[in-house]
Structure 1
Amino acid sequence: MAAFAITAVTTDMPETVSPFHLLAAHYENCFRRYGDTPRGVDWPDADSARVRYKVMAGVAYDGGGFLDFGCGAGHFLEYLQQTYSPCPAYRGLDISPIFVDLCRHKFPDIIFDCVDVMAPDAVIPSTDYVIMNGVFTEKREVPYNVFFDAMMAVLGKVFAAAKRGMAFNLMSKYVDWERDDLFHVPYNDVARVAMSLSRHHTIRADYGLREYTVYVYKSAIA
């Protein structure tokens, strides 16, 4: 990471700042501390991160390209490049200019957009599948109901831009203990969220982590 440096970022922000700006500041601080590693985007280790990438890629049961919403340091793209030949079509998007600049530096031939999806003039690129890995797993100091409402607003906008479907992950309630800074959501709550978007959805909790992933499709899968 010698070729790319960032300055310190503080989470001491006004109350009017959206939950996702607060999250971006947190992840930027992780990157400042740990660099371009799983811990630099606040995943505990490379092995569990790779499991998540595999599950996220699994939403594209029929092929198709990805929009990596909340792309961070571009590690999902690295997974795709290492796993698939040819690599599926990919485009990255993040609210953080620091991560977008990093990804543009690492992958000069790939498009990365810096977008605050909740801004009135925000445009989300239309892509076959949108994956949102880790976008909703941490809420930090944001109250549960506030973060839940913010998630609903983002999912509605993102699903409208997806041609075929999207995937997102959440922390499970069925764990030995919970952390106040993580976003633990009961299955029945997320089922209502998915049903409000489409009757065609799947909840996956079969990959051994203390979380689950939701696939939501525009139409029935074969």
Structure 2
Amino acid sequence: MSNHFKNDIDALAKHYGELVKRHGDAAESAQYADRETQERRMQVLCEIGVTKDSKVLDFGCGTGQMLNLLQRTMEFEGEYVGYDISPEAIEFARSAHPGGRFEVRDVLENPSDETFDYVLVSGVFNNAMSDNRAFFQEVSRRLMAQAGKGYAFNMLSRFVDYFDEGLYYEDPLQAFRFCKEELSPLVTLRHDYAVRPGSIPFEFTIYVNQSDIDPRALNTPKPD
């Protein structure tokens, strides 16, 4: 199932494994410039509604910095689970954060039926792949099925003045449309924050809240 992404995922696992070996628990191991900008992104994700008692899935958890942030900023007492495709990252996370549960898991090859209050995704969709949009959409469908209350993710925006050829920049309106039409009618697009003071917003975050209303029903033409 979804084997057409296997080569991409294997390459990413190797890439991030090497970063962990080189940088350990530093922000650079997750391909961030520094801890300040890494945590700013995570804080925005948590604003979907995460509380100290939530059950959270940190998808693409790296070395587990999200758990550290939750414990420090809101005295987190809920249940934290981290998935990553890098064995090196997971090994480091288990050692550094014994209060969390960490798993090496590719949800396209090895999906889980476990559900969470919130599923949070930071930076996972940023590296250039063979078909980034299809990857983002397929992973999002899987993760939304595990999110009892909501799913939050960030992506690099096409509203920038510089493009790195190794990264993927998405049209935020396309991402919003996909979420609104396929995941839930309750979608918020945030393109209003900067990761450091004085910088121009070059990424966006989307919150997708669960709803009893099937989003596809909203797109069905009504008879005259």
Coarse TM-score class (shorter-chain normalised): 0.7 to 0.9
Aligned residues: 201
Unaligned residue ranges in structure 1 (runs of 5+): 1-14
> Which position in structure 1 is the counterpart of 2:65?
75
Counterpart Cα distance in 1 of 2:174 and 2:207: 15
Residue number in structure 2 paired with 1:127 = 116
Q: C-alpha separation between the residues in 2 aligned to 1:87 and 1:54?
A: 17
Question: SS where residue 201 of structure 1 aligns?
Answer: strand
Residue in 2 aligned with 1:100?
90
Shift of 1:55: 0.5
Please point out which of 197, 215, 219 is paired with 2:183.
197
Give the corresponding residue for 2:24: 35
What residue is the counterpart of 1:169 in the other structure? 154
* Worse overlay, 89-98 or 170-179: 89-98
CA contact (8 A) 2:55 2:80 kept: yes
Q: 1:16, CA displacement in angstroms?
A: 7.1
1:133–1:168 contact (8 Å) kept in structure 2: yes
Contact 1:124 1:158 in 2 (8 A): no
Q: State the one-letter code of the partner of 1:213.
A: T
TM-score (normalised: structure 1): 0.84
Fraction of identical pairs, as percent? 30
Would you say the 8 A contact 2:24–2:92 is kept in 1? Answer: no
Pair 1:218 & 2:203 matched? no
Aligned 8 A contact 2:115 2:147 in 1: yes
Alignment of 1:10-29 (within 5 A): 17-29=6-18
Task: Tell me which moved more, 149-158 or 28-37.
Answer: 28-37
Q: Tell me whether 1:113 sits opposite 2:89 in the alignment.
A: no
Residues 116-160 of structure 1: per-residue CA shift (max 9 Å, x gap): 1111x4315310000011111222xx23xx121111111111100
**Deviations 1:39-94, CA, capped at 9 Å, x for gaps:** 11110111111111111111126763211011101011111111012444311111
Deviates more, 1:180-189 or 1:152-161: 180-189
Equivalent residue in structure 1 for 2:42, among 46, 53, 56: 53
Match of 1:183, as an amino acid? Y
Quote the Cα distance in structure 2 between the aligned partners of 1:109 and 1:157: 26
Q: Identify which range, 93-102 or 58-67, moves more after superposition.
A: 58-67
Aligned to 2:95, the other structure's residue is in SS state helix
Runs of 4+ in 1 over 6 A off after TM superposition: none
Segment drifting more, 24-33 vs 196-205? 24-33
Letter in 2 for 1:53: M
Which amino acid is 1:203 matched to?
L
SS in 1 for 2:170: coil
Structure 1 residue 109: Cα displacement: 3.5
Q: 5+ unaligned residues in a row in structure 2: which ranges?
A: 195-200, 213-224
The 8 Å contact of residues 136 and 151 in structure 1, kept in 2 or not, is answered as yes
Deviations 1:88-109 (A, max 9, x none): 4311111222111111111223
Is the Cα contact below 8 Å between 1:19 and 1:147 reproduced in 2? no
Determine the C-alpha separation between the residues in 2 that align with 1:49 and 1:178: 20
